[in-house]
Amino acid sequence: MTSEVRSSEPLKLLVDPPAAGAWNMGVDEMLMERAAEAGTAVLRFYEWTPATLSLGYFQNAADRSGHEASRTAPMVRRSSGGGAIVHDRELTYSISLPTSHPLAADAETLYRNIHGTLLAALAEFGVAARLNETATTPFAGEPFLCFQRRAVGDVLLDRFKICGSAQRRRRGAILQHGSVLLAQSPAAPELPGIAELAAVPSGGRITSSQLVDVWTRIWRATLSPLEPYGELWAEDQARANLHASEKYGQDAWTNRR
């Protein structure tokens, strides 16, 4: 995999334990603010507990009633667009960059570079995924679930989507986050994951921690240095909690559409 952009500017690396949806979205919001205000660039990996349905910013909350399998899962609304995602047996990443950072120069290039490092990481497990190169046009009645939609640059395994990403820009910063489907979830049985689609030579399944280890190594070799972020600073944690409790945990936000 050859990257179009290489930066000598390091990113902070944050690997979080599984957490509730509102908290996860609150942390991403806080990191985007830090990117805009302080120029802090952060690559974050995280998981969700319990299994949670996240709506894209423009989706109607009432549409979730049509997806029976995930109806009992808690729901949160993302600040980015795209389709709904069942966050269960998957790994989520986010990258928060000031717009001055070399990796943020072009939205499409950022999308492809990150997905390119994922392809290289999966290849080390013997998983031959590829980027989708077929353009699609949004239309009325688009599938509810993100992984049933197709956009240029999505990561495909066989004919199934196993990773998609979405971006949000604000003055001074860009946030991109995406989900890697490691295995099929009971809350989305129509979506096979890597475990169902590929035989890993070493046997068993790719765990989230294994993927993070390989992905970050490839990231360092191809995109930029990574430095430990360490524990969330008290100020950062307080701000993330504020976003979680006063925005992402509120029905007014989740059901705004």
Q: Is 163 a catalytic residue?
A: no
Query: 151-161 b/e with 16+ CB inside 10 Å = b?
Result: bebbbbbeebb
Give the whole-angstrom CA distance, residue 58 versus residue 37.
26
Give the CA radius of gyration of the chain: 17
Q: Which of 31, 35, 122, 146 is catalytic?
A: 146
Give the whole-angstrom CA distance, residue 7 versus residue 202.
33
- Determine contact, residues 194/181, Cβ cutoff 8 Å: yes
- Determine contact, residues 44/97, Cβ cutoff 8 Å: no
Check residue 82 and report its DSSP letter: S
Torsion of CA 170, 175, 181, 184, to 10 degrees: -50
Label the pairing between strands 226-228 and 160-170.
Answer: unpaired
- Determine contact, residues 47/92, Cβ cutoff 8 Å: yes
Active site residues: 146
